[in-house]
Amino acid sequence: MMLKAPEHQVAGHLAKDGQLGPLVDGSGFFYKPLQNDDRGTNEMAFYTSFSSDFRIPSHIRRFFPGFHGSKLLHASDGSGLHPHLVLDDLFTGLRHPSVIDLKIGARTWFPSASDDYFRKCLDKDRKTTSALLGFRVSGVQIRDYGGILWRPSHANVHQFTASDVRRTLRRFVSSNPTSDCEPDCAFASAVYGGSEGVLAQLLELKAWFEDQTLFHFYSTSVLVAYDNCDHGQSQGRPRVRLVDFAHVLEGDGVIDHNFLGGICSLIKFIYEIPDSLTQSSNA
């Protein structure tokens, strides 16, 4: 098994330069190293519980990466054998994916968080757009058959303002993402619009979040990917997936109003992009 750092990861720790990070095997699996603290235990517990929970409807389950247990693998940082979650590689079958990672929720801290973690999250939620918009961009890569067109650094992304976020969501579906002109939103109807588009999928998620009281998702992202070689037209619907479950709590009969509010805010941002509401040609 040849493992390597995933090519299309836009957020989180990278398995490069001797760091501990996720690996892919090129045959459809994604290996995420379990973090050593509570986060690793929590994420493993979430996947285990979620994968066997019959209350999750199948049209919702497909928004989550498939889970295939855990496996001891040589860690990417050279520290020896380390347990990894075995997940579906979300980019399998995409040749030149454009990807955006949107961390959902005005707050990333949860009620039972330690003081240190609470302060760290709160500070970041206020410095980024999370508190203001209900979500923030954690990473983005725009590419076409020729290679990567735009991939801002983490530091750059963390400084995004509300209008940067608005512009990024337009650039993400534009044929001129690196131009100084207004993004042309040429692929908006193909990617965001249509019955299989990103908007339709986010609305399915929203409806579930209005009702489900099983889980509260803190610091979880919505990942959107589509194949930019052909403007998302032929590789089936754009992919919308939830990722990062190290801070999922039980819902205890309460809806996840924090995540729901963020999803609704994101939906509104996308609604306002020209042509996002039109049917795509293959819809």
Question: Which residue, 71 or 166, has its beta carbon nearer to a second copy?
Answer: 166
Closest distance between a second copy and the C-beta of residue 100, in Å? 18
Which pairing describes strands 29-33 and 81-88: parallel, antiparallel, or unpaired?
antiparallel
User: One-letter amino acid identity for 254?
Assistant: V
Query: Distance from CA of residue 10 to its chain's centroid?
Result: 9
Q: Determine whether 16 is exposed, middle or buried from the number of CB atoms within 10 Å of its CB (0-12, 13-18, 19+).
A: exposed
Which pairing describes strands 239-243 and 221-227: parallel, antiparallel, or unpaired?
antiparallel
Closest distance between a second copy and the C-beta of residue 268, in Å? 5
Question: Which residue, 112 or 153, has its beta carbon nearer to a second copy?
Answer: 112
Q: Give the containing element (helix H, strand E) for 82.
A: strand 81-88
CA distances (Å), 19 to each of 6, 22, 78, 157, in order?
13, 10, 8, 21
Question: Which residue, 185 or 229, has its beta carbon nearer to a second copy?
Answer: 185
Closest distance between a second copy and the C-beta of residue 61, in Å? 21
Closest distance between a second copy and the C-beta of residue 137, in Å? 15
Question: Which residue, 148 or 162, has its beta carbon nearer to a second copy?
Answer: 162
Contact 29, 46 (CB under 8 A): no
Contact 258, 107 (CB under 8 A): yes
Question: Which residue, 63 or 109, has its beta carbon nearer to a second copy?
Answer: 109
Residues that bind a second copy in the complex, under the rule CB under 8 A: 106-107, 111, 122, 126, 131-134, 162, 166, 210-211, 213, 252-255, 257-258, 260-262, 264-265, 267-268, 272
Contact 47, 69 (CB under 8 A): no
Closest distance between a second copy and the C-beta of residue 32, in Å? 29
